[in-house]
Amino acid sequence: MEASKDPAQPRIWHLVGRVSQFPDIGDDEKGCQVLSGCKTLSIPKTDVQEQSQGNRFSDLGDQVLVFKYKGFLHAIDNQCPHSAFPLKQGNVFDIEDLGAGIKCFRHGWKFDLFTGKGDRGSHKLPLWDIELRDPCVSEIDEKLSSTDKEVWVRRPPQS
């Protein structure tokens, strides 16, 4: 019997910080700009060993954008699926009191932050998985609150 070959790489979790490191941009009086309270991290899709060869700069396709809006943490691709513009320059807004969306600064396309669904066409925003974990507390870290969870993200599965 032949072993099945799964072309998809395992989805690996990445630590992006602690919950306290993400200010709630919903409290921002400047119109909920993502840039003010987000973290943009480069997490390449390919193997780390391949990345060590040569001097590679981070492109938008490798970036995750993590931020908190009205108490909810969100992790999304930093690249607009419509025009490849950085979403960290966009604005977050309420959707009929039931959710939230992000509006791309470049062309005004909007995407639901809970489903990824776009307001036009068949474009869908990739949403990353988020997991909150208890931190490993050492003697050095005792000053930190034990309720301050670590935020871990992983890339969504390829469809």
How much is the pLDDT for 61?
Answer: 77
pLDDT at residue 32, rounded to an integer: 62
What six digits make up the tokens of 125? 């925003």
> Could you read off the pLDDT of 4-59 as tens digits, one per residue?
444 455 679 999 999 999 998 887 665 566 676 788 889 887 644 444 333 344 57
pLDDT value of residue 56 = 42
- Looking at residue 26, its pLDDT comes to 83
Q: Which is more confident, 94 or 57?
A: 94
pLDDT for 86 beyond 70: yes
Cβ–Cβ under 8 Å, residues 153 and 13 = yes
Place of tokens 């969870």: 149
Please state which of the ranges 3-7, 38-42, 72-76, 90-94 shows the lowest mean pLDDT: 3-7
Instruction: Give the pLDDT score at 138.
Output: 65
Q: Identify the residue with better confidence: 140 or 43.
A: 43
For residue 99, what are the β-bridge partners? 95
Amino acid at residue number 108: G
pLDDT of res. 133: 96
Q: What is the pLDDT of residue 53?
A: 39
Q: What is the mean pLDDT of the chain?
A: 80
SS (H, E, C) the chain: CCCCCCCCCCCCCEEEEEHHHCCEHHHCCCCCEHHHHEEEEECCCCCHHHHCCCCCCCCHHHEEEEEEECCEEEEEECECCCCCCEHHHCEEEEECCCEEEEECCCCCCEEECCCCEECCCCCECCECEEEEECCCCCCHHHHCCCCCCEEEEECCCCC
